[in-house]
């Protein structure tokens, strides 16, 4: 049975460290379902058009003047209002003016600081959110977050189309936002499962915030296995032990896992971040993606009863073989037999290849032994392997098992 590591890596999500990350609130969660089901994010202030914002030359002062011109009574004249308690994109209620068949905006008064914040948010929505950026939208009370990838430029819909959409889907609350961006939702996570480092972000009340500072925590919350910038493998193991973590077992897991990676990749660049609170994640980061993938695959197979007593081997092409005899050992035997019948030059070359095979065999035997030892701390700490990586690996194993079963059934 064979596993193709390159296929395994291709099946994992690929993220770009240059992508922007944004928190977009949905009117205290009122429009969470609307955003989710209709695959978009939006902002209010419908009488400030997309064209108005685009023509402001990304100038906050110019846009503020336009907002005041279109809404002469908007300024409060006081700075006593708490900015943090007001979601500036959602400070109006929708009413339908039957005589004009248009939306009427019933706005609250804003302080000059809030007006500046509003202008800044509208400019960011139109000018700074880019295709392939990731956006987070919280539900009511920020209990759950959906995460999506931006897949369009900002656009504007007409109010008639919006009203028709509401009629077709009246079982949830719709936003009345004309300015929108399309999003493909890629995941979700619950606040209770999020890293505590995200709490400051969660409790920010701004309607639109840049959250690039939290990107690594967000990536880990959505994807327990992913590739960053096509050259870094991230795998998150989940420690499920409820009470105090056994320090010896945790140290054993980190040490033996690092040793296995080093043996397979011939590199010491593995990094492991551990949240010491129970329950918590242990995230490994490997620059040698083939070595990191093989380490995970061996660990996965050694933990499966169906492979107990078997042999797991690998070669330099990124293939893993699950069988009784290692590939390196078999190659060495074949090459030794051929050497006697070859010229001295070829024999010398084969000797070098034999040494390489010896090295590979030694490393695979060490990795296999370490993977077996790792089952002890994994069991003691209740460690769960990264689910997305398990799925990507199991797909190949299921396919190989199906081929094998078909071959056996076809034999006379």
280 shares its domain with 384: yes
Does 253 or 199 have the greater pLDDT score?
A: 253
Supply the range of the domain harboring residue 151. Answer: 20-222
114 shares its domain with 192: yes
Residue pLDDT, tens place only, 175-219: 989 999 999 999 999 988 888 888 888 877 778 999 999 999 999
For residue 341, give both structure tokens. 């019948």
Mean pLDDT throughout 386-400?
A: 90
CB atoms within 10 A of CB 80: 6
Residue 398 is predicted with a pLDDT of 87
Residue 348 is predicted with a pLDDT of 57
Residue 201 is predicted with a pLDDT of 86
Q: Cα-flanking dihedrals φ and ψ of residue 42, to 5°?
A: -155, 165
Out of 40-44, 214-218, 368-372, least confident range: 368-372
340 shares its domain with 208: no
Residue 102 is predicted with a pLDDT of 34
Mean pLDDT throughout 225-241?
A: 94
30 shares its domain with 113: yes
Residue pLDDT, tens place only, 129-178: 999 999 999 999 889 999 999 999 999 998 877 777 776 777 889 898 99
88 shares its domain with 209: yes
pTM value is 0.79
188 shares its domain with 45: yes
Is residue 312 within 8 Å of residue 365, measured between CB atoms? no
Is residue 237 within 8 Å of residue 384, measured between CB atoms? yes
Contact partners, residue 63, CB within 8 Å, separation at least 6: 48, 52, 53, 56, 119, 122, 123
CA neighbours closer than 13 Å in the CB half-sphere of residue 171: 1
252 shares its domain with 396: yes
Q: Which of 205, 222, 239 is the last residue of a domain?
A: 222
Q: Which of 167, 202, 222 is the last residue of a domain?
A: 222
233 shares its domain with 218: no
Mean pLDDT throughout 97-126?
A: 70
CA torsion sign for 39, 45, 51, 54 is negative
| Structural domain count, the chain | 2
pLDDT band for position 279 (50/70/90)? Answer: confident
Q: Which of 177, 201, 222 is the last residue of a domain?
A: 222
pLDDT band for position 276 (50/70/90)? Answer: low
131 shares its domain with 267: no
d(CA 336, CA 350): 8
Does 57 or 196 have the greater pLDDT score?
A: 57
Is residue 6 within 8 Å of residue 392, measured between CB atoms? no
204 shares its domain with 266: no
Whether residue 260 has pLDDT greater than 50: yes
Whether residue 329 has pLDDT greater than 50: no
167 shares its domain with 285: no
6 shares its domain with 26: no
């Amino acid at each position: 049975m064979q596993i193709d590591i390159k296929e395994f890596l291709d099946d994992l999500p690929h993220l770009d460290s240059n992508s922007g990350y944004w928190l977009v609130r949905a009117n205290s969660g009122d429009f969470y379902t609307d955003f989710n089901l209709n695959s978009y994010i939006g902002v209010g202030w419908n009488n400030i058009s997309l064209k108005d914002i685009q023509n402001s030359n990304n100038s906050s002062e110019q846009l503020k003047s336009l907002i005041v011109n279109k809404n002469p009574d908007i300024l409060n004249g006081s700075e006593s209002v708490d900015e943090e308690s007001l979601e500036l994109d959602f400070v109006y209620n929708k009413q339908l003016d039957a005589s004009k068949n248009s939306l009427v905006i019933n706005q609250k008064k804003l302080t000059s600081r809030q007006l500046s914040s509003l202008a800044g948010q509208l400019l960011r929505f139109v000018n700074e959110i880019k295709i392939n950026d990731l956006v987070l939208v919280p539900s009511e009370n920020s209990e759950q977050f959906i995460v999506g990838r931006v897949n369009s430029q900002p656009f504007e819909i007409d109010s008639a189309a919006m009203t028709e959409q509401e009629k077709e889907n009246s079982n949830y609350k719709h936003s009345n936002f004309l300015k929108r961006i399309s999003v493909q939702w890629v995941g979700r996570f619950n606040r209770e499962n999020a890293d505590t480092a995200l709490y400051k972000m969660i409790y920010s009340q701004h309607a639109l915030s840049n959250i690039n500072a939290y990107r690594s925590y967000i990536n880990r919350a959505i994807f327990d296995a992913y590739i960053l910038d096509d050259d870094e493998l991230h795998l998150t193991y989940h420690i499920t032990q409820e009470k105090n973590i056994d320090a010896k077992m945790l140290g054993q897991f980190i040490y033996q896992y690092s040793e296995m990676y080093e043996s397979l990749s011939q590199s010491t660049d593995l990094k492991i971040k551990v949240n010491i609170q129970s329950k918590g994640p242990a995230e490994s980061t490997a620059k040698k993606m083939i070595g990191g993938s093989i380490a995970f695959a061996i660990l996965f197979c050694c933990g499966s009863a169906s492979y107990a007593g078997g042999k797991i081997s690998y070669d330099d092409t990124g293939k893993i073989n699950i069988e009784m005899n290692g590939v390196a050992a078999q190659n060495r035997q074949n090459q030794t037999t051929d050497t006697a019948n070859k010229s001295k030059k070829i024999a010398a070359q084969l000797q070098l290849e034999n040494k390489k095979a010896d090295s590979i065999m030694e490393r695979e035997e060490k990795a296999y032994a370490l993977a077996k030892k790792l089952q002890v701390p994994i069991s003691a700490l209740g460690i769960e392997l990264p689910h997305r990586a398990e799925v990507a690996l199991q797909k190949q194993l299921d396919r190989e098992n199906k081929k094998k079963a078909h071959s056996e059934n076809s034999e006379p």
